[in-house]
Chains A and B, each alone.
Chain A
Amino acid sequence: MLTTEGNTMTLKYFVGRCIFCGMCADTCPEKAIRITKEFELATGNIFDLYTDIEHEIKACSMCGKTFISKKLSNKIALKVPDMPQETMDLCPDCRRKETLKRFMGVPE
Chain B
Amino acid sequence: MTQPLSEETNSKGVDLKKTLSRIKRSVWVFHINTGSCNGCDIEILDVLTPYFDVERFGIKLVASPRHADLALLTGPITIKTFSKVYRALSAMPRPRFVLAIGSCAVGGNIWFESYSTIGGFPKALEMFSEMGLEIDGVIYVPGCPARPEAIIYGAATLLGLQKPKTVYRRFKA
A contacts, CB < 8 Å to B: 11, 14-20, 39-56, 69, 71
Contact = CB atoms under 8 A, between A and B. Distances in A.
Interface of B: 6, 103, 106-110, 112, 120, 122, 137-144, 146-147, 149-150, 153-154, 157-158, 162, 164-173
Contact of A41 (B6, B141, B170): B141
B103 A17 contact: yes
A49 B107 contact: yes
A49 B166 contact: yes
B37 to A, nearest CB: 11
A60 B120 CA distance: 40
A91 to B, nearest CB: 20
B168 A50 contact: yes
Given A16-B142, A51-B169, A46 B164 contact: no
Nearest to A71: B173
Given A48-B164, A51-B169, A19 B144 contact: yes
Given A18-B142, A20-B143, A54-B170, A39 B107 contact: no
The 4 closest A-B pairs by CB, nearest first: A16-B107, A16-B106, A42-B154, A43-B164
